[in-house]
Amino acid sequence: MDMKRLTTGLCLCLLVMAQLTLAQQTTNNKIIIDTMETNLNKKAILDFYEIILNNRKFELLDSLIDEHYSSENGILGFEGFKQPLMALITAFPDAKWTIKDILAEGNKVFVKQQMVGTHEKSFQGIAPTYRPVKNEGMVIYEFRNRKVVHYQIQTDRLGFLQQLGIIQLDITTPSKNTAGSVFLVDEFTIPPLALDSFITKMTYNREFIKTIDGFVRDEVMISKDPTGNSIVMTVAVWKDEQYLSIAKELVQQEYARIGFDPQTFYQHMQISMKRQIYTEVGDQLVKL
């Protein structure tokens, strides 16, 4: 009886050990497979920058981008990935990318990148400035079955616009020849995903008001609040209140002509706006 129990116990022990060994082997195999997948994803991103981007082998994009790809802006599919990329390269035809750092874990690849190029054609409503830019950013690529299904990107948008001369570093102090001028100051709070669309609209507006009689100059400043929203302050200087009043009417007429409703746009993009008007008295700005 004792021998039978001993034999039964030994068999159970061997069975448990076999199951544990099999489970360990399965776990080890999964780790090996996952590691291989991660390394392949990393290699795919390295090839994306060096071969597809820098050597303009865009015909290879369909081997990298999943048909169900979606961007953080909700753009879907292969064309959704390609279109903004091609718009950037069209505007900066000599653009080159450098990977400063790359890390891969699981199904995600993190890249710290740098892009250099010359602004030779219109980009997001900004006319060619023919200025060189150097822009750094961080990108997270998400893979499924060895293809990119999503990515998130953060770049130095403020520095980019400053290099193009679209946004100044500081608002200049009132010049001596602006006595009696009127300063229209708008402050916008803009969520991260709405910033590019806002910049496009703002650039169009800035170019338009420069054609109106009585325009003196304009300035733009951008900062960040603690929640990550952009705070954009625009200052448009006009010769006097009458010129400003006429300008407001002309701007509204232009918006009607192009079918743009600012209030609907701000509401849709969750943008808030505050407006103040000042006049220059001596060397001081006085609120009207």
Average pLDDT for residues 13-36, to the nearest whole number?
58
Residue 164 C-beta-side C-alpha neighbours within 13 Å: 27
In the prediction, which pLDDT does 9 show?
59
What CATH number has the domain spanning 38-162?
3.10.450.50
In the prediction, which pLDDT does 54 show?
95
More confident residue, 234 or 72: 234
Averaged pLDDT of the chain = 83
167-287: CATH class? alpha beta
CB distance 114 to 97 below 8 Å: yes
In the prediction, which pLDDT does 19 show?
62
Q: Which residues contact 223 (CB under 8 A, 6 or more apart)?
A: 230, 231
Question: How confident is the model over 111-162, as pLDDT tens digits?
Answer: 999 999 999 988 877 778 888 999 998 999 999 988 999 888 888 877 787 7
Question: How confident is the model over 228-267, as pLDDT tens digits?
Answer: 888 888 889 999 899 999 999 999 999 999 999 999 999 9
In the prediction, which pLDDT does 78 show?
81
Return the domain boundaries, the chain: 38-162, 167-287
pTM: 0.56
The 8 Å CB, 24+ separation contacts for 125-132 are: 125/199, 125/200, 125/201, 125/203, 125/204, 126/164, 126/166, 126/199, 126/203, 127/207, 128/91, 129/164, 129/165, 129/166, 131/163, 131/164, 131/165, 132/163
Query: What is the spatial distance between Cα 255 and Cα 262, in angstroms, rounded to a whole number?
Result: 8
Query: What is the spatial distance between Cα 113 and Cα 119, in angstroms, rounded to a whole number?
Result: 19
CB distance 238 to 180 below 8 Å: no
**pLDDT of 175 strictly over 50:** no
